[in-house]
Amino acid sequence: MTAPVEHCVKVSLAERSYDILIRSGLRGEVGRCLRGLGFSGKVAVVTSPAIRRLYAPAVIRSLRQAGYETRSILIPDGERAKTLRWVSAILDELATARFERGSVLVALGGGVVGDVTGFAAAIFARGIPCVQVPTTLVAQVDSSVGGKTAVNHALGKNLIGAFHQPRLVLIDPETLNTLPTTEWIAGLAEVIKYGMIADEEFFAYLERHMVALRKREDGPVAHVVTRSCQIKAAVVREDERESDQRRILNYGHTVGHALESLGKYRTLLHGEAVAIGMVQEADFARYLGLCPNEVTARQHALVREAGLPDTLPRVRFSELWGAMQHDKKVAHGHLYCVLPERVGRVVIRPLEPSTFKRWFASRGDKQERRPGSRHVASRPKA
Ligand code: NAD
Ligand code: GLY
């Protein structure tokens, strides 16, 4: 039997630099990898019930074999865990177990576990190391990399948070095999986003391999995870704190976040909202004369091929615009939008309300059900 191929992507941020290791079976080597970084303190594995059943035993065994004193901390599955209350619960456990500066938090799970654990690590004892072990496609290609950590506030998603880079990201693509189909497909939206914002060749690869990706074939999955991490690492290296170019990672998110919030985070998965956002924002770019028809059509075809929704739910302009104003992308009263010029290249532009309203009206009735109802009508069969 040949050893599985390992890919290593470096996130170069001076003293905050770290590696992203990608290899099947890596979940059983977390302990060895932590030793490799020289960590000697206690380790807490933060996870949620679904992941604990599937993957915590291998991770905890590896930590104990490497000689670590280990405990696990459980938070609920899904977005409802992204609250200060659950951060506080983690901090209580750490304080009670006398964790200190040299102790380590391991985030084992999807983007929710990663964001909550990362934030707890950012504030406990003014910052302790965090190692991300992401288990969803969204987390492996996006949330585990780049150091954004956060929980939600009643008035806004991810409103309370900190930049806290992980010390290591360990990606085991095998864990993706147990992901529910809708979660898998939602993750493909973030992958398509990387092709649109930065790499036409990668986009063309996705066009050629979407059938294999829908079937989660090992080779294409490892390739898209690795290439996505490379693109994200390059963007974060240039603009860690999102003062400028990192904003391109928000392509599809201006409309997407607004739809998520209008649906109270229950009607669309994050990736589904981003897919609709990318299709709509590209159509807006076409309306402005920034983006040729062939480009919007090509993106639209790939989004549909992935099985993602593409159509704006039925919503009034005032509702959509109002929800967009709560976005963190509003700066000095201006809302910015990331717009494609061609596949692999986007620009950041202030969003003019009157122009956006004219585009919105020009769309006629190409809309579906209200965002409060589960959005399924335009999602092709999985
Ligand atoms: P999630 O963490 O809620 O996971 C989705 C579901 O899949 C959960 O029910 C989870 O228990 C389950 N699950 C996870 N791994 C599994 C596996 N291997 N097998 C079976 N089930 C599994 O959702 P997500 O899409 O991973 O992350 C979304 C969150 O990430 C949002 O809160 C979003 O704001 C955040 N996010 C953060 C960043 C960032 O840069 N920090 C980027 C993108 C998204
Ligand atoms: N997910 C967007 C970012 O990390 O900046």
Q: What is the pLDDT of residue 150?
A: 97
Confidence of residue 163 (pLDDT cuts 50, 70, 90): very high
CA dist., res. 102 & res. 61, Å (int): 21
List the domains of the chain with CATH numbers. 7-176 (3.40.50.1970), 181-362 (1.20.1090.10)
> Strand, coil or helix: what is 357?
helix
Give percent of the chain above pLDDT 90. Answer: 85
In testing the pocket of ligand 1, which one of 52, 59, 115 has its CB within 8 Å of the most ligand atoms?
Answer: 115
pLDDT in tens, 310-327: 999 989 999 999 999 877
In testing the pocket of ligand 2, which one of 136, 242, 348 has its CB within 8 Å of the most ligand atoms?
Answer: 242
CA dist., res. 346 & res. 358, Å (int): 22
Of 79-93, 224-238, 252-266, give the lowest mean pLDDT range. 252-266
Confidence of residue 363 (pLDDT cuts 50, 70, 90): confident
For the sheet with 18-22, list strands across it.
Answer: 7-11, 18-22, 168-171, 130-134, 104-109, 43-47, 70-74
Confidence of residue 379 (pLDDT cuts 50, 70, 90): very low
Confidence of residue 370 (pLDDT cuts 50, 70, 90): low
CA dist., res. 128 & res. 124, Å (int): 6
Of ligand 1's listed atoms, the one at least distance from the Cα of 186 is 25
Measured from the alpha carbon of residue 52, the closest ligand is 1
Q: What is the pLDDT of residue 317?
A: 95
Count of positions (residues) in the chain:
382
104-132 mean pLDDT: 98
Q: How far apart are the first and last CA of the chain?
A: 33
Question: 370 — phi, psi (to 5°)?
Answer: -65, 155
- Which two structure tokens, joined as six digits, stand for 5? 């191929």
Give percent of the chain above pLDDT 70. Answer: 93
SS (H, E, C) 226-295: HHHHHHHHHHHHHCCCCCCHHHHHHCCHHHHHHHHHHCCCCCCCHHHHHHHHHHHHHHHHHHCCCCCHHH
**Among candidate residues 164, 170, 157, 327, the one with its CA nearest the CA of residue 236:** 164
Distance of CA 274 from the midpoint of ligand 1 (Å): 14
Ligand 1 close to Cβ of residue 50 (< 6 A): yes
Residues catalogued as catalytic: 126, 148, 190, 232, 242, 246, 250, 253, 257, 270
DSSP label at residue 77: S
**Among candidate residues 240, 249, 202, 256, the one with its CA nearest the CA of residue 224:** 202
- The yes-or-no verdict on residue 378 having pLDDT over 80 is no
**Among candidate residues 236, 181, 196, the one with its CA nearest the CA of residue 20:** 236
> Strand, coil or helix: what is 44?
strand
Place of tokens 């004892």: 125
CA dist., res. 309 & res. 298, Å (int): 15
**Among candidate residues 281, 272, 284, 295, the one with its CA nearest the CA of residue 378:** 272
CA dist., res. 332 & res. 315, Å (int): 26
Measured from the alpha carbon of residue 172, the closest ligand is 1
Which residues are within 8 A (CB) of 376 and not within 5 positions of it... i.e. 6 or more apart? 309
- The yes-or-no verdict on residue 359 having pLDDT over 80 is yes
CA dist., res. 98 & res. 92, Å (int): 10
